[in-house]
Structure 1
Amino acid sequence: MPVSVTDTAARLSRDVPLAELSIDDALIAVSVLMTSIVTARRETPDVPSARGQATIRRLAKAQTALIDASGEVLRVHGDLRTLAREVAGYDLHECPKAAGRITSLRAVA
């Protein structure tokens, strides 16, 4: 059974902002973890500072990967807006606001 363009557009208008928000949530969580790790390193004088450096570098790489993922999803969002104009004739000047309509994945699970 074929899915209508309207149904597909409705699903994407829900799923794209959710993906963007989820990546932002993950970036915030990793940033909070970074703060906790650096604070713990500073507040634990018995452990040499160099001991946690590899962990901090790994976490920084994870942050960078999330930032890269966020950029790619934003590009996908732009691609989908262009496609909606070309295929469905939608006049999309602005995408729907995500605030108030999106719940975190924790709330869904």
Structure 2
Amino acid sequence: MSENIDFTVARLQQQVPAAETRIDDALIAVASLMTSVVAARRDTPGVDAVQGHATIQRLAKVQTALVGASGDVLRVHGDLVGIARESAGLDLHECPSLAAAGRHAVAATS
């Protein structure tokens, strides 16, 4: 495998999981915000259930969008695994890090 492909694989091995983690972090942050907004509406004297409802709906839309983004990034991850198998000849079962570990083991035994 050329150094260029090795570099690309190494970069993607870092960036894809980082993107997945950041989306999860954003989802957790929005869920926490949702909890705080609903609790504040409930616990603030003089605020009825109708007040803040539009804000809660917007936060729900954000959560839905983040769940969708998470699924899309997971599909991208799978697509990249397929591309690596086809174009780089990597034997990937779950993700590029497994192939890299296997490739180094083969190189060590050669």
Q: TM-score, normalised by structure 2?
A: 0.82
Tell me how far apart the structure 2 counterparts of residues 14 and 67 of structure 1 sit (CA, whole Å): 21
Aligned residues: 96
| 1:45 Cα deviation from its structure 2 partner | 2.4
Counterparts of 1:11-30 in structure 2 under 5 Å?
11-30=11-30
Question: Which 4+ residue blocks in structure 1 deviate beyond 6 angstroms?
Answer: none
| 1:47 Cα deviation from its structure 2 partner | 1.2
| Aligned residue in 2 for 1:105 | none
| Aligned residue in 2 for 1:44 | 44
RMSD value over aligned CA atoms? 1.6
What is the letter of the counterpart of residue 72 of structure 1?
Answer: D
| Aligned residue in 2 for 1:61 | 61
Contiguous gaps of at least 5 residues in structure 2: 99-110
Partner of 1:49: helix, strand, or coil?
Answer: coil
What is the aligned-residue identity percentage?
63
Contiguous gaps of at least 5 residues in structure 1: 98-109
Higher helix share: 2
Structure with the greater relative contact order (CA < 8 A, sep ≥ 6): 1 or 2? Answer: 1
Counterparts of 1:1-109 in structure 2 under 5 Å?
4-95=4-95, 96=97
Query: Is the contact between residue 85 and residue 91 of structure 2 (CA under 8 Å) also seen in structure 1?
Result: yes
Deviations 1:24-45 (A, max 9, x none): 0000000000000011111112
| 1:46 Cα deviation from its structure 2 partner | 1.1
